[in-house]
Structure 1
Amino acid sequence: MTTDTRTQAPEPADTVRLHAPDGHQDHPGHHGLETTLDLLGRMDLAHAPEADVLRAMELMVTHAEFPCLGAKSVFRRGSVAHVVLDDMDDPTVPSRLLERLGAFADDIEDESGFHSFIATFRGPLPTTEADFEASLFGLLQRLHDADDQSWADGVGSDPNDPHFGFSAGGNPYFIVGLHPAASRVARRAPLPTLVFNPHGQFEELRAEGRFDGMRTTIRRRDENLQGFVNPMVADHGDSTEALQYSGRQHPAGWEPPLEVKPVTGTDVRDLHTNTRIDSHTFTHQGKSNDDLAGCTPQHD
Structure 2
Amino acid sequence: MPQPATPLFPWRHEDQDRFERLLQVHVEDRLFPCVGAKAALAKGTLNVLACNRIDSGWDDLRIHDGLLRFASAYREEPALFRSFAVVFNGPEDLDEPAFEQALWDRVQSLSDKDVWRGQEYDHRVSHDPEDPHFSLSFGGEAFFVVGLHPHASRPARRFAKPALVFNLHDQFEILRAEGRYEGMREKILIRDEALAGSRNPMLARHGTASEARQYSGRVVDDAWACPFHYRGADD
TM-score (norm 2): 0.89
Partners of 2:94 and 2:58 in 1: CA distance: 24
Q: Is the counterpart of residue 108 in structure 1 residue 74 in structure 2?
A: yes
Cα deviation digits, residues 20-70 of structure 1 (max 9, x gap): xxxxxxxxxxxxxxxxxxxxxxxxxxxx84322211111111111111110
Partners of 1:200 and 1:165 in 2: CA distance: 11
- For the aligned residue pairs, the C-alpha RMSD in angstroms reads 1.9
More helix by share: 2
Cα deviation digits, residues 135-182 of structure 1 (max 9, x gap): 000111111122231211100011111110001122110000000010
Partners of 2:133 and 2:193 in 1: CA distance: 26
Greater mean alpha carbon deviation, residues 147-156 or residues 88-97: 88-97
Task: Number of aligned residue pairs: give it.
Answer: 222
Cα deviation digits, residues 106-126 of structure 1 (max 9, x gap): 222223111000100002224
Equivalent in the alignment of 1:130: 97
One-letter code aligned to 2:215: Y
**Which residue, out of 13, 17, 20, partners 1:51?**
17
One-letter code aligned to 1:211: Y
Equivalent in the alignment of 2:4: 7
One-letter code aligned to 1:81: N
Partners of 1:49 and 1:141 in 2: CA distance: 25
Q: Is the counterpart of residue 194 in structure 1 residue 164 in structure 2?
A: yes
Equivalent in the alignment of 2:9: none
**Secondary structure in structure 1 of the residue aligned to 2:52:** strand
**Secondary structure in structure 2 of the residue aligned to 1:82:** strand
**Which residue, out of 126, 133, 157, partners 1:163?**
133
Equivalent in the alignment of 2:120: 150
Please list every run of at least 4 consecutive aligned residues from structure 1 whose deviation after the TM superposition is greater than 4 angstroms. Answer: none
Equivalent in the alignment of 1:74: 40
Using the TM superposition, give the Cα deviation of residue 127 of structure 1 relative to its aligned residue in structure 2, in angstroms.
Answer: 3.0
Equivalent in the alignment of 1:183: 153
One-letter code aligned to 1:121: F
**Secondary structure in structure 1 of the residue aligned to 2:164:** strand
**Secondary structure in structure 2 of the residue aligned to 1:108:** helix
> Is contact 2:72–2:139 with CA below 8 Å preserved after alignment?
no
Equivalent in the alignment of 2:231: 261
Partners of 1:91 and 1:177 in 2: CA distance: 17
TM-score (norm 1): 0.70
Q: How do 1:280-291 and structure 2 match up within 5 A?
A: none
Identity of aligned residues (%): 41
